[in-house]
Structure 1
């Protein structure tokens, strides 16, 4: 029985940023990782951001095609890092509502557990407001589903945030930078569906649809792309400072080693 899940900080960043991309509808993605031989631990090392099939405030769906694509990506990563990676779970957001899974979430989780008993679900509750808090908060829960009589209930799984897997850091940041593109594709698809093939549609409706799409893309740039760029630039600056300090330390150690060698000779 699954007892614990380890989630790297890079994957947590990707999932959180995805969850914060919209406060009107739920988002979702799949998790790639490995299950240890004793079956008690899942180490989640990467994620796959999925385009929403339909924008809904209270539910999300995974298509068979998306699941196949994620499985193929897991196989590619497994070859790259030499580890038995596969799709081990899914995540989605709860904007403005409790972190606990709904009956729809439990039914979805139960369906995947029938195929894989170690399959896990993670929920990111975002934009939560509390009178005592100065800013909206974020809550995370990890769960599985089980039958309790004729109803389905949740079983909480211990969640541990771990240090990043260095072999997959580049992959995880590539996933993060794909987020604005995926969100834009969703808006383009929504615009295409609204416009349709109706050439006699009045000009007011056409202008309205164009304006909605323009505002949505502006939101992506302002709320996603710009903060993401600022975060990555800040992280690069910190890494450069650390690299400079490590080089200085390396020079000091090499100098001490050279002095010690000279004394011994």
Structure 2
């Protein structure tokens, strides 16, 4: 039985950024990792951002093709890093509502568990405020479903956020960088669907749909792409500063070692 889940910091960042990309609909993705210790421990080391088929405030749908593609991506990543990685879970967001899974979430989780008993679900509750400080807050829960006759309930799984391994840092940041592109693809698909439903000669309807798409893409650039770029630039500068400090420390240690060798 699964008792604990280890979630890497970079995957946490990707999931949070994805969840914060919209406060009107839920988002969803899959989690890639490794199962340890007789299925009692799962480590999550990467993720797959899924493009939504339908945008709804209380649920999200994906295609079977996307599930297959995620499985193939897990196999490719496993071959790259030399570890038995596979799809081990899913995540989605709860904008403006409690972090606890709904009956729809529990049913979805139960379906996945029938295929894999170690499969886990993560929920990122975003756009919340601390009742005391009124500061923005993000809550995360990790759960599995328990079937009790015709009823379903949740079983909370212990969740620990851990450092990302060096071999996967670049891979996870590449996933994060693809988020704006995936969101734009969703808007393009919604635009094509709306355009196909209206009269070809309905100029006002076409202009309205074009304006909605333009506003949505502007939102992606303003609220996601630009802040993400600024954060990555700041992180790169911090890493450069740390590298410089480490090189200086290394040189000081080498000088001490050389002095000790000469004295001997």
Relative to the length of structure 1, the TM-score reads 0.97
Give unpaired runs (5+ residues) of structure 1.
none
In structure 2, how many angstroms separate the alpha carbons of the residues matched to 1:191 and 1:67? 24
In structure 1, how many angstroms separate the alpha carbons of the residues matched to 2:244 and 2:141? 38
**Is 1:83–2:83 an aligned residue pair?**
yes
Q: Which residue of 2 aligns with 1:73?
A: 73
2:94/2:124 contact within 8 Å kept = yes
TM superposition outliers: structure 1 runs of 4+ over 4 Å? none
Quick check: 58-67 or 29-38, which moved more?
A: 58-67
Secondary structure in structure 2 of the residue aligned to 1:125? strand
* Cα deviation digits, residues 134-153 of structure 1 (max 9, x gap): 33311100000011232000
2:4/2:40 contact within 8 Å kept = yes
Quick check: 177-186 or 55-64, which moved more?
A: 55-64
Q: CA deviation at 1:246?
A: 0.4
Q: CA deviation at 1:128?
A: 1.4
Report how many aligned residue pairs link the two structures.
264
In structure 2, how many angstroms separate the alpha carbons of the residues matched to 1:116 and 1:133? 41
* Cα deviation digits, residues 53-96 of structure 1 (max 9, x gap): 11111111232111111111111111111100000000000001
Secondary structure in structure 2 of the residue aligned to 1:38? coil
In structure 2, how many angstroms separate the alpha carbons of the residues matched to 1:186 and 1:136? 27
In structure 2, how many angstroms separate the alpha carbons of the residues matched to 1:208 and 1:62? 27
Q: Which residue of 1 aligns with 2:106?
A: 106
Q: CA deviation at 1:200?
A: 3.2
In structure 2, how many angstroms separate the alpha carbons of the residues matched to 1:200 and 1:105? 39
Q: Which residue of 2 aligns with 1:14?
A: 14
Matches for 1:44-193 after TM superposition, within 5 Å: 44-193=44-193
In structure 1, how many angstroms separate the alpha carbons of the residues matched to 2:200 and 2:51? 30
Matches for 1:209-224 after TM superposition, within 5 Å: 209-224=209-224
Q: CA deviation at 1:180?
A: 0.1
In structure 2, how many angstroms separate the alpha carbons of the residues matched to 1:11 and 1:187? 24
Secondary structure in structure 2 of the residue aligned to 1:140? strand
The root-mean-square deviation of aligned C-alpha atoms, in Å, is 1.2
Q: CA deviation at 1:127?
A: 0.6
In structure 2, how many angstroms separate the alpha carbons of the residues matched to 1:197 and 1:25? 22
In structure 1, how many angstroms separate the alpha carbons of the residues matched to 2:237 and 2:261? 36
* Cα deviation digits, residues 109-138 of structure 1 (max 9, x gap): 000100000000000000113443333311
In structure 2, how many angstroms separate the alpha carbons of the residues matched to 1:116 and 1:134? 40
Q: CA deviation at 1:257?
A: 1.3
Quick check: 122-131 or 47-56, which moved more?
A: 122-131
Q: CA deviation at 1:202?
A: 2.0
- Given the superposition, is the C-alpha separation of residues 95 and 197 from structure 1 closer, same or farther in structure 2, using an over 3 Å criterion? closer
Secondary structure in structure 2 of the residue aligned to 1:161? strand
Relative to the length of structure 2, the TM-score reads 0.97
